[in-house]
Structure 1
Amino acid sequence: MADRAEDRDVAGRTRAAFERVVALVPGDPLLNPPATDAQLDAAERHLGRRLPPDVRALYGLHDGQVQPTAADPRWAAGLVGGAALLPLDGVLFHWDQWAGFEADSDLDEGAGSEPEGFVRTKYSLRGWVPLTHDGGGNHVGVDLDPDVRGTAGQVMVFGRDDEHHRVLAPSLLSYLEQLADLLERGHGAPGDDGVGWSLRAADGVGPHALFRPGG
């Protein structure tokens, strides 16, 4: 019973944090309908891993955001630091694209973790599950196989252009709560072309530095 009560608390807090973010982000988020338990179970079988309760809770609210296509070129107001949340089929598609890279140890040269010891020093790892895609092979996602100082389910940056994998928050719930706090403090900046938005930090400081990897 304790586990169920804890899961309900996580689900409720995830919903509250997500609703705060949606209310503060400029533009239409173009949210998809909820993912079903059957879809989430199928995604876990595909990944060979259980998803954290907060990830399941978020996708139980909405199966990501609409992705632009030739038939529907609309751009959603991204809810993950300006990037759109992938639907489950997009999560699995991009996770599949990384198959085989983990075994290539030559790619691990130069790989690091920020903070040190939070993320395994690999270029790619099957325990990293993408939640966004920037169009160039880079993601914000959750780490289900952390290093000794990390936390399973921590939110991190990884991808083609990233070697020093930065942890943004110890969980997706913490990430959403921190993001909502940042937006309330005025860190959301409209896009230069009038489309979308991004997180704004002080000059010379990247937006990822606004987050607290330890919560």
Structure 2
Amino acid sequence: MKAQWDRIEQWLSTKGCLEQMRLRAGASTSGIEGLEAHLGVRLSESLKAFLSVHDGQDETVGLVGGELLLSIEGIRQEWDLWRSLDEEAMNADSADFMASHPEGFIKPMYTNRLWIPLTKDWGGNHIGLDYDPDEKGSSGQVIRFGRDEETKRLIADSFEDFVGKLVLAVGASEWNGEYLAMTI
């Protein structure tokens, strides 16, 4: 993951916005282990390596299509916020209008404790890991979910695939002085 971060940083520097991204120093091994214990999941080695290079961003311009890349503390806070909801009632109340794209990859639920947020858009929506996929999905796939996401969307088959897409998206993006214009 160091090589992927190096490419991202090179692109950001070339575009003149590396400083504005306010990338944090890498997370410690004990910090990552504490996050795993808190979430009750074993994170992929690639995600742990990614976090050990940069532990997300300070509150600033979002790196991932305008969304903030969360630190381990940010992941914990966003995950805890979702756990504060009455998950059973929310999932029952919204069962009729939740969907997955593609169909059968993501469980059509409002919330799931095994969806781990990696980004936030400041409106309750995330890109994150899915450790409880539907029958056609795979554990660790990267999905879009959140408050405004009635249709949960598959972004990448794995975290490694997601990082590859992120590197390409940063390279193809444009910095307009306020944000990176890009899509993932």
TM-score by length of 2: 0.88
The match for 1:148 is: 135
Cα drift, residue 129 of structure 1: 0.6
Q: What secondary structure is seen at the aligned counterpart in 2 of 1:64?
A: coil
Residue 108 of structure 1 aligns to which amino acid in structure 2? A
What number of residue pairs does the alignment pair up? Answer: 176
Q: What secondary structure is seen at the aligned counterpart in 1 of 2:120?
A: coil
The match for 2:108 is: 121
Q: Deviations over 1:180-215 (max 9, x none)?
A: 23444x3x1334xx301121xxxxxxx45xxxxxxx
Instruction: Give the share of equivalent positions with the same residue, in percent.
Output: 36
Distance 1:19 1:173 in 2: 15
CA contact (8 A) 1:110 1:163 kept: yes
| Mapping 1:104-183, distance limit 5 Å | 104=89, 105-183=92-170
Q: Is 1:189 aligned with 2:174?
A: yes
CA contact (8 A) 1:102 1:124 kept: yes
Distance 1:93 1:195 in 2: 26
- Shift in alpha-carbon separation, 1:18–1:79, aligned structure 2, 3 A: farther
- Shift in alpha-carbon separation, 1:183–1:91, aligned structure 2, 3 A: closer
TM-score by length of 1: 0.76
Please, which of 59, 63, 72 is the counterpart of residue 88 of structure 1?
Answer: 72
Q: Mind listing any 5+ residue stretches in structure 1 that lack a counterpart?
A: 1-13, 68-74, 200-206, 209-215
Residue 145 of structure 1 aligns to which amino acid in structure 2? D
Higher percent of residues as helix:
2
Cα drift, residue 21 of structure 1: 2.2
Q: Deviations over 1:141-185 (max 9, x none)?
A: 11111111112111111111101011111112111112223444x
- Shift in alpha-carbon separation, 1:106–1:127, aligned structure 2, 3 A: same
Q: Deviations over 1:90-134 (max 9, x none)?
A: 111110111134312112221111111111110110111111111
Q: What secondary structure is seen at the aligned counterpart in 1 of 2:116?
A: strand
CA contact (8 A) 1:44 1:51 kept: yes
- Shift in alpha-carbon separation, 1:38–1:198, aligned structure 2, 3 A: same
Q: Is 1:98 aligned with 2:82?
A: yes
Residue 153 of structure 1 aligns to which amino acid in structure 2? G
Q: Mind listing any 5+ residue stretches in structure 2 that lack a counterpart?
A: none
Q: What secondary structure is seen at the aligned counterpart in 1 of 2:58?
A: coil
Q: Deviations over 1:64-88 (max 9, x none)?
A: 1111xxxxxxx24x33233221111
The match for 1:42 is: 34
CA contact (8 A) 2:66 2:121 kept: no
Distance 1:168 1:55 in 2: 16
Distance 1:15 1:110 in 2: 41
Cα drift, residue 51 of structure 1: 1.0
Q: What secondary structure is seen at the aligned counterpart in 2 of 1:103?
A: helix
- Shift in alpha-carbon separation, 1:86–1:116, aligned structure 2, 3 A: same
Runs of 4+ in 1 over 6 A off after TM superposition: none
Distance 2:40 2:34 in 1: 10
